[in-house]
């Protein structure tokens, strides 16, 4: 599914609450811009039996006490399967890249998503921070709110 279709699917599946589809249309360029910097249209996320995404806590050895919560996104099912710890019941679930980027907004305890780009290698990845996504989406929301034809009165003040 190409990026335009992914975004259209997000909009179509959005709650019909009077503002969410319009908000998604407004932030679509941000999601597309971020997704275009990544190599794959779909990634595999490890999902727990309860349906939540598997979170990895990373510690900085040079700064004791400094941790961040990340989610890993793998380019193939095989890569995600290999990353599942023995005995862990998490399963790889394929998701469109724009949906992953959009979800990071709702995952307040997540600092970043690391997208592994090369199949068979988890040595290097592209980190996309929640803050980076929020700032870019905030920019597009600001434009949406200031556009004279927008229906910005329906936007919640804490959307981004």
Residue pLDDT, tens place only, 44-84: 999 988 989 999 988 877 877 789 999 999 999 999 999 88
- State the pLDDT confidence band at 93, using cuts at 50, 70 and 90: very high
pLDDT-derived band at 89, boundaries 50, 70, 90: confident
Whether the CB-CB separation of 44 and 76 falls below 8 Å is answered with yes
Average pLDDT over residues 91-110: 94
Average pLDDT over residues 13-40: 90
pLDDT band with cut points at 50, 70 and 90 for residue 88: confident
pLDDT band of 153, cuts 50, 70, 90 = very low
Provide the token pair at 94.
């394929």
- Statement: residue 29 has pLDDT above 70: yes
* Predicted pLDDT of residue 137: 93
Task: Indicate if the pLDDT at residue 157 is higher than 60.
Answer: no
Rounded Cα distance between 156 and 150, Å, is 14
Q: Which residues contact 88 (CB under 8 A, 6 or more apart)?
A: 54
Q: What was the pLDDT predicted at 86?
A: 66
Q: What is the pLDDT of residue 40?
A: 97
CA-to-CA separations, 79 to 87, 92, 97, 98, in angstroms, rounded: 17, 9, 16, 20
Query: How many helices (H) and strands (E) in the chain?
Result: 5, 6
């Amino acid at each position: 599914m190409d990026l335009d279709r992914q975004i259209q699917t997000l909009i179509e599946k959005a709650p019909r609450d009077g503002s969410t589809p319009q908000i998604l249309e407004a932030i679509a360029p941000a999601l597309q811009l971020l997704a275009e910097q990544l190599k794959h249209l779909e990634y595999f996320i490890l999902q727990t039996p309860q349906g939540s995404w598997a979170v990895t806590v990373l510690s900085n050895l040079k700064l004791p006490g400094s941790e961040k919560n990340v989610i890993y996104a793998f380019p193939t099912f095989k890569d995600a399967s290999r990353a599942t710890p023995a005995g862990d019941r998490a399963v790889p679930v394929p998701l469109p890249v724009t949906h992953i980027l959009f979800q990071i907004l709702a995952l307040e305890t997540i600092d970043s998503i690391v997208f592994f780009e090369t199949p068979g290698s988890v040595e290097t990845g592209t980190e996309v921070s929640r803050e980076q996504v929020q700032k870019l989406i905030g920019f597009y929301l600001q434009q949406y709110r200031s556009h004279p034809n927008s229906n910005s009165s329906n936007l919640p003040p804490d959307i981004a």
